[in-house]
Structure 1
Amino acid sequence: MPPAAVIDPTLDGKDSALAARATGSSWRATLLRYYSLAKPRVLYGNVLTAAAGFLFASPKNVHWLLFLAVCLGTTFVIGSACVLNNVLDRDIDTLMARTQKRATVTGGVGARNAVIYSAVLGLSGMAILVAWTNALVVVVGLGGFLAYVVLYGMLSKRMSIHGTLVGSISGAAPILGGYLGATNSFDAGAVIAFLMLFFWQLPAFYSIAIYRKAEYARAGVPVISVVRSIANTKVQILLYTAAFVTTSLLPQPFGYTGWVYTASMAVLGVGWLVMAIRGLNASDDDSWARLMFRYALVMMCAISLLLAIGPRVP
Structure 2
Amino acid sequence: MSHSATSSRLGTDAALAARATRPGVLSAVTRYYSLTKPGVLYGNVLTTVAGYLLAAALFEFSWIVFVGVVVGSTLVIASACVLNNVLDRDIDTLMRRTSTRATVTGAIKGVPATIFSIVLGVLGVALLILTTNWLVVATGVGGFVVYVWLYGALSKRKSVHGTLVGSVSGAAPVLGGYIAASGQFDVAAIAVFLMMFFWQMPEFYSIAIYRRDEYARAGVPVITVVRSIRRAVWEIFIYTVLFVAASLLLPAFGYVGIAYAVVMGGLGLVWIILAVVGLRTRDVEQWSHRMFHGSMWMILALCLMLSVGALLP
The normalised TM-score by structure 1 is 0.91
The letter of the residue matching 1:189 is: A
3-state SS of 1:243 partner: helix
Q: Distance in 1 between matches of 2:242 and 2:311?
A: 26
Q: Distance in 2 between matches of 1:125 and 1:171?
A: 17
Q: Distance in 1 between matches of 2:164 and 2:122?
A: 27
Q: Deviations over 1:68-124 (max 9, x none)?
A: 000000000000000000000000000000000000000111110000000000000
1:260 correspondence with 2:255: no
Superposition deviation, residue 257 in structure 1: 0.5
Aligned to 1:31: 29
Superposition deviation, residue 25 in structure 1: 6.5
1:113 correspondence with 2:112: yes
Q: Distance in 2 between matches of 1:262 and 1:299?
A: 14
3-state SS of 2:75 partner: helix
Q: Distance in 2 between matches of 1:41 and 1:98?
A: 13
The letter of the residue matching 2:177 is: G
The letter of the residue matching 1:289 is: S
| 1:60-99 alignment, distance < 5 Å | 61-99=60-98
| 1:182-201 alignment, distance < 5 Å | 182-201=181-200
Superposition deviation, residue 150 in structure 1: 0.3
Larger radius of gyration: 2
1:208 correspondence with 2:216: no
Aligned to 1:52: 50
- Structure that is richer in helix per residue: 2
Aligned to 2:8: none
Aligned to 1:162: 161
Q: Distance in 1 between matches of 2:39 and 2:159?
A: 27
Aligned to 1:220: 219
3-state SS of 2:201 partner: helix
Q: Which 10-residue stretch deviates more, 208-217 or 25-34?
A: 25-34
- % identical equivalent positions: 55
Q: Distance in 2 between matches of 1:34 and 1:120?
A: 13
Superposition deviation, residue 58 in structure 1: 1.2
The letter of the residue matching 1:53 is: G
Q: Distance in 2 between matches of 1:242 and 1:211?
A: 22
Aligned to 1:6: none
3-state SS of 1:57 partner: helix
Alignment root-mean-square deviation, CA: 1.0
Q: Distance in 2 between matches of 1:52 and 1:217?
A: 36
Q: Distance in 1 between matches of 2:35 and 2:136?
A: 25
Q: Deviations over 1:256-294 (max 9, x none)?
A: 101111100011101110000010111211110011001
Aligned length: 291
3-state SS of 2:250 partner: coil
Q: Distance in 2 between matches of 1:127 and 1:290?
A: 40
Q: Deviations over 1:149-206 (max 9, x none)?
A: 0000000000000000000001000000001100111100100000000000001111
Gaps of 5+ in 2: 1-21
The letter of the residue matching 1:123 is: V
Q: Distance in 2 between matches of 1:89 and 1:99?
A: 10
Aligned to 1:127: 126
Q: Distance in 1 between matches of 2:311 and 2:280?
A: 41
The letter of the residue matching 2:30 is: L
Once superposed, which parts of structure 1, at least 4 consecutive aligned residues long, lie more than 2 Å away? none
Superposition deviation, residue 42 in structure 1: 1.0
Aligned to 1:102: 101
3-state SS of 2:81 partner: helix
Q: Distance in 2 between matches of 1:132 and 1:241?
A: 35
Superposition deviation, residue 253 in structure 1: 1.4
Aligned to 1:40: 38
Q: Distance in 2 between matches of 1:303 and 1:108?
A: 38
